[in-house]
Amino acid sequence: MVSRDLTKAAFIVFWVKCFVSCAEDPHLTRALKLMSETPLIDGHNDLPWQMRLRFNNQLSKVDLNTFNGTHTNIPKIKEGRLGAQFWSAFVHCDTQNKDAVRQTLEQIDVIHRMCQKYPEVFMFASSSQDILDAFRQNKTASLIGVEGGHSIDSSLGTLRTMYQLGVRYLTLTHSCNTPWADNWLMDTGSEPSQHDGLTPFGKQVIHEMNRLGMLIDLAHVTVRVMEKVLEMSQAPVIFSHSSAYSICNNKRNVPDHILIKVKEKRGIVMVNFYNDYVTCSHTANISDVADHFDHIKKIGGAEIIGFGGDYDGVTRLPEGLEDVSKVPNIVAELLRRGWTDPEVKAALGENLLRVLKEAELVRDSLSSRAPDDVPIPYEQVETPCRTSYGYDMDVPNQAALHLLNAVPLLLMVFVQDFITLT
């Protein structure tokens, strides 16, 4: 009862604030109207990681109606009109080759438990239709994105299991290479590329994600990986929390030639609010963030833009966008700059809904294809912490055996790549 009263009080405060703000800013009035008609879908929020850091995932020790130590809580979600959120199931790179899978499963679990604890606010979602259903019920659709390919431990079986648990995108790398894909830091020159983007097993991962209907997230990868995936994926791809490289020359951002390819693939770039990716400095404001939206629209059109705030995963946010409640401010700024209602609605959520629907259509078209069960060569993942059960260690060259087993799949990959390029 106390929790419900607090929620009601927060709702009243929200409308009082809204009345005062809207009376002063007609663009904000229009922004809130558009957000009542189209769900704001954000591509990346690290609140689940904050639950691990602060409470070791013990949700019994926190009330999101009242806890105010994060960028995201229930009153802020309501004020920010958050229609749908991809919650990040993230674990650090130092878990790779150790307990990454277990820790990722625990993050998936905490997202499910958030929805169970606050059913009046969150509705678990795993499809484009679920997002629309939650929006009609005035709830925040809650989806899962796994941030970092190290979380699957180079296992297609683990990838499939995570999909069955509701994971709807995988960020191919975080800030470390996997045994099959290069991460964005390679483009800074800090280390040489290990895989020329993707290994043959990396290509298997892409094709299996297409078959499952799992979105491929290219935030955190090298440009070479971006190029390869955009060539070979049958479904549109996403950048769940990246901005425009031409505005801020940080390698986590997306260069113009890739924006053009994203447009051709009918994908989406969801703009990150982190100051370091907005202005390449410690300070930023709403206008600086809007510059990224404008540039992406100029290069690729309004149909490839989305929101990927990276709340609770970053330490510095622009003035006026300090937490989730402030997101309507950037929507108002876009309208102030002359964005049309259809363009704003596209960026708010229609683009992401389209991308997810198209990935689901690709999944349906591949329903007759059997799951890929060819494992990664053992020598590519061998560590003191890993066993070799299932691999024939009497065979002197496991790589050659793996290549022989994978010939049918590799031929399919080659044919699909050839068709795409021609």
Question: What per-residue confidence (pLDDT) applies to 316?
Answer: 98
Indicate the average pLDDT of the chain: 92
Structure confidence by residue, pLDDT tens digits, 105-148:
999 999 999 999 999 999 999 999 999 999 999 999 999 999 99
Rounded CA separation 259/126 (Å): 27
Rounded CA separation 245/171 (Å): 19
CB atoms within 10 A of CB 344: 22
Question: What per-residue confidence (pLDDT) applies to 134?
Answer: 98
Provide the CB-side half-sphere exposure for 300 (13 A, CA).
28
SS3 247: coil
**44 classed as catalytic:** yes
> For residue 33, how far is the Cα from the chain centroid?
26
Catalytic residue among 42, 46, 153, 291: 46
Extended beta strands in 261-378, E state: 268-271, 305-307
Cβ–Cβ < 8 Å for 54, 62:
yes
CB atoms within 10 A of CB 415: 10
Q: What integer is the mean pLDDT of 157-163?
A: 98
Question: What per-residue confidence (pLDDT) applies to 192?
Answer: 86
**174 classed as catalytic:** yes
Rounded CA separation 404/410 (Å): 10
Rounded CA separation 196/199 (Å): 7
Range scoring the smallest mean pLDDT among 175-179, 335-339, 396-400 = 396-400
> For residue 178, how far is the Cα from the chain centroid?
18
Q: By C-alpha distance, which of 20, 22, 8 is closest to 332? A: 22
Catalytic residue among 71, 150, 174, 207: 174
SS3 317: coil
Structure confidence by residue, pLDDT tens digits, 5-53:
545 555 555 545 555 444 579 999 999 999 999 999 999 999 999 999 9
Rounded CA separation 137/134 (Å): 5
**310 classed as catalytic:** yes
pLDDT of residue 399 exceeding 50, the answer is no
Structure confidence by residue, pLDDT tens digits, 170-222:
999 999 999 999 999 999 998 889 999 999 999 999 999 999 999 999 999 99
Q: What integer is the mean pLDDT of 352-373?
A: 98
- What's this model's pTM, rounded to 2 decimal places? 0.89
pLDDT of residue 419 exceeding 70, the answer is no
Catalytic residue among 195, 220, 292, 402: 220
Q: Which three-class secondary structure string do you get for 45-87?
A: ECHHHHHHHHHCCCHHHCCCCCCCCCCCCHHHHHHCCEEEEEE
Structure confidence by residue, pLDDT tens digits, 85-101:
999 999 999 999 999 99
CATH number for the domain running over 26-373? 3.20.20.140
Give 58-63's long-range contacts (Cβ < 8 A, gap of 24+).
Answer: 59/110, 59/113, 59/114, 59/117, 63/3
What's the token pair of residue 394?
Answer: 């009497």
Catalytic residue among 241, 292, 295, 402: 241
- Calculate Rg over the CA atoms of the chain: 21
**282 classed as catalytic:** no
Catalytic residue among 44, 71, 150, 402: 44
